[in-house]
C-alpha cells in the first residue's frame, strides 16, 4: 500500500481498522470530525448503548481487547416482553446455550477502548476535530472543512452513513448510492437508577414494549440506569409536540414505563429525534485509492442490533483481503466488495423484517407458535436447524447463508403448523448440515487472559 494511509472517521469501524492495519505494519492517520470522546461530553439522547454480538466480538478477540470489553458489558439473555395490559413481563430467551446472549455496551466506552488500542500500537495517529470534506484524487489531497489539506495515498472511508468519502467516489462515477428512509424515527430516553443505585428493571434482558406500529426498547447501563429508545412512525412523532400530547401518549401506551421516568416529558422535548434509513451502495472503492467500510458502505436500520457488529465484521473481512493481495489493492478491494455485499444486503433486509417482529410479532400467537416449534426442532435437530436470530447473532455464518437457511426453515415450519400430519423431522433432517462447531461459536471463550 502506498502511503500516506488515511482513515476518515474514528467510530467503531475506523478505530478497529486502524488497529488491524497497524498489525499489518502500516502507519495510519485517522481523521475524526468530532472531539476526542475520551475527553469530551457527549450530548444526551445520542445512541448511548448498543447490543454487541458474536460478529463484533470476534474482531475484538482478534485485536486483543476482548478482556477490556468484557469488563464493561452486561449480558442480555433474552427479550423481556412487556405486553399491553400484562403487569408481568415475559422472558423469551434468545437461545438454549449459555453463550447465546447479547451484550449491552456503551458506544462511547467501547469506542474509547478501540481508540486506546489503536494509539497503543505506536503506528496510529488520531487527529480529532478534522472534518474531511472531499478527496482530490488527481492531486492526492484530502480537503478539510477548515480549508486545510493533507496528502494521501490510500484513504479508507469509515465516515458513517453520510460519508463524504463516498460522495467523492460517486463524483468519480465509481459508485451508486441509494438512501431509503424508513419513515420511522427514534428518540432516546433514560430510565434512572433507583435511589440506592439498583436497577428498576431486570438488567439481564433486552426489554421490549411492543405496540404494533411502534415500540420502546431498553438496554441496561452499568450505572443502574437504562437507555430506552422509542421507535415510531414519523407521523406519530409529528403528533407529540406539547407536554400534554407526550403525557397522554405515554399514559395510553406505556403507563407502567412512564411511572419509571419522573422527567419523561422534559427528556422527550430536549433529546433529539433521529432518522432511520438503509444505505445501499454499489461500488465501494475507487481504483487503489479509496474504499468504504462500515455504515458508509452498508448502513442498516438498528432492529437486528447488527449495524456495528456488521461494520466490525466487514473490517475483519477487508483485513483478510488486504493480507491476501497486499500489492494489488484493486484486487483486494474488489474481492472484499464481491464477497461482502451479498451478506450486507442480506442483513439490511433481515434488519427491516426484524422491526415487524419486535414491534408486533413477539406478542402475536402465530409468531409465538412458530418460535416454539423452531426451538423444539432445534433441540431435536441441532445439526440441521438454528433459528434465524441465532444464526445472525451467535454465529459468523455469512449473513446471506443465514437468510437462505432461515427461509427454508420457515417454509417447513409454516407447512408443519398448517398440516400436523407432515413428517417435519424428515424435512428438517434433509436440510444441509449447519457449519461444524467452530471455535468461534463461543468467542468469549477465546478471552486472552
Q: Which residues bind ligand FAD (CB under 6 A)?
A: 8-14, 31-34, 47, 50-51, 131-132, 158-160, 164, 186, 229, 274, 294-295, 302, 305-309, 311
CB 86, CB 215: distance < 8 Å: no
Give the Å distances, CA to CA, from 121 to 63, 64, 124, 239: 11, 11, 7, 51
CB of 306 to ligand FAD, least distance (A): 5
Per-residue exposure over 321-356, b if at least 16 CB sit within 10 Å of its own CB, e if not? bbeeeeeebeebbbbbbeebbebbbbbbebbbebbe
Gyration radius from the chain CA atoms: 22
* Pairing mode, strands 176-191 and 102-106: unpaired
CB 27 within 8 A of CB 3: yes
User: CA torsion, points 325, 326, 331, 334, in degrees to nearest 10?
Assistant: 100
SS (H, E, C) 94-158: CCCCCCCCEEEEEHHHHHHHHHHHHHHCCCEEEECCCCEEEEECCCCEEEECCCCEEECCEEEEC
Smallest gap from residue 430 Cβ to ligand FAD (A): 34
Of the two residues 11 and 203, which places its CB atom closer to ligand FAD in the complex? 11
Q: How far is the CB of 164 from ligand FAD (least distance, A)?
A: 5
Residue with Cβ nearer ligand FAD (33 or 54) = 33
Of 396 and 409, which CB lies nearer to ligand FAD in the complex structure?
396
Smallest gap, in angstroms, from Cβ of residue 40 to ligand FAD? 11
Least distance CB 52 / ligand FAD (angstroms): 7
What 3-state class would DSSP assign to 186?
A: strand
Q: Contact at 8 Å (CB) between 180 and 278?
A: yes
Closer to ligand FAD by Cβ: residue 8 or 113: 8
109 vs 159 by CB, closer to ligand FAD = 159
Closer to ligand FAD by Cβ: residue 283 or 302: 302
Query: What's the closest the beta carbon of residue 423 comes to ligand FAD, in angstroms?
Result: 39
Contact 349, 302 (CB under 8 A): no
Nearest approach, Cβ of residue 98 and ligand FAD (Å): 21
Residue 95 or 164: the one with the smaller Cβ distance to ligand FAD is 164
Amino acid at each position: 500500500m502506498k502511503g500516506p494511509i488515511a482513515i476518515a472517521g474514528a467510530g467503531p469501524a475506523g478505530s478497529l481498522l486502524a488497529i488491524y492495519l497497524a498489525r499489518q505494519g502500516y502507519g495510519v492517520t485517522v481523521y475524526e470530525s468530532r472531539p476526542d470522546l475520551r475527553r469530551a461530553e457527549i450530548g444526551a439522547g445520542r445512541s448511548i448503548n448498543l447490543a454487541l454480538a458474536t460478529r463484533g466480538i470476534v474482531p475484538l478477540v482478534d485485536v486483543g481487547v476482548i478482556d477490556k470489553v468484557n469488563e464493561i458489558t452486561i449480558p442480555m439473555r433474552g427479550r423481556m416482553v412487556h405486553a399491553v395490559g400484562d403487569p408481568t413481563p415475559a422472558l423469551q430467551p434468545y437461545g438454549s446455550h449459555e453463550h447465546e446472549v447479547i451484550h449491552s455496551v456503551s458506544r462511547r466506552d467501547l469506542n474509547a477502548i478501540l481508540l486506546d488500542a489503536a494509539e497503543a500500537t505506536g503506528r496510529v495517529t488520531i487527529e480529532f476535530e478534522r472534518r474531511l470534506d472531499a478527496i482530490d484524487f488527481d492531486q492526492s489531497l484530502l480537503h478539510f472543512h477548515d480549508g486545510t489539506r493533507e496528502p494521501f495515498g490510500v484513504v479508507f472511508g469509515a465516515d458513517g452513513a453520510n460519508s463524504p468519502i463516498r460522495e467523492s467516489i460517486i463524483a468519480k462515477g465509481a459508485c451508486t448510492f441509494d438512501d431509503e428512509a424508513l419513515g420511522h424515527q427514534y428518540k432516546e430516553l433514560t430510565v434512572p437508577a433507583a435511589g440506592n443505585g439498583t436497577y428498576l428493571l431486570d438488567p439481564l434482558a433486552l426489554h421490549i414494549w411492543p405496540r404494533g406500529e411502534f415500540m420502546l426498547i431498553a438496554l441496561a447501563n452499568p450505572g443502574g440506569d437504562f437507555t430506552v429508545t422509542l421507535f415510531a412512525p414519523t407521523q406519530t412523532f409529528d403528533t407529540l409536540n406539547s407536554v400534554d400530547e407526550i403525557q397522554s401518549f405515554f399514559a395510553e401506551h406505556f403507563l407502567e414505563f412512564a411511572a419509571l421516568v419522573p422527567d419523561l416529558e422534559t427528556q422527550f422535548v430536549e433529546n433529539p429525534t433521529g432518522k432511520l434509513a438503509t444505505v445501499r451502495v454499489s461500488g465501494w472503492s475507487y481504483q487503489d485509492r479509496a474504499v468504504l467500510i462500515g455504515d458508509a458502505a452498508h448502513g442498516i436500520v438498528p432492529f437486528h442490533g447488527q449495524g456495528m457488529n456488521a461494520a466490525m465484521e466487514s473490517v475483519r473481512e477487508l483485513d483478510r483481503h488486504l493480507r491476501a493481495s497486499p500489492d494489488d489493492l484493486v484486487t483486494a478491494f474488489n474481492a472484499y466488495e464481491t464477497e461482502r455485499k451479498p451478506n450486507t444486503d442480506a442483513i439490511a433486509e433481515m434488519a427491516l423484517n426484524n422491526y415487524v417482529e419486535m414491534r408486533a410479532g413477539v406478542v402475536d400467537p402465530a409468531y409465538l407458535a412458530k418460535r416454539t416449534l423452531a426451538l423444539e426442532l432445534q433441540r431435536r435437530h441441532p445439526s440441521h436447524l438454528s433459528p434465524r436470530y441465532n444464526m445472525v447473532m451467535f454465529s459468523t455464518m455469512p449473513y446471506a447463508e443465514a437468510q437462505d437457511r432461515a427461509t427454508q426453515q420457515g417454509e417447513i415450519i409454516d407447512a408443519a403448523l398448517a398440516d400436523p400430519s407432515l413428517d417435519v423431522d424428515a424435512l428438517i433432517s434433509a436440510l444441509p448440515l449447519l457449519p461444524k462447531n467452530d471455535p468461534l461459536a463461543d468467542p468469549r471463550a477465546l478471552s486472552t487472559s
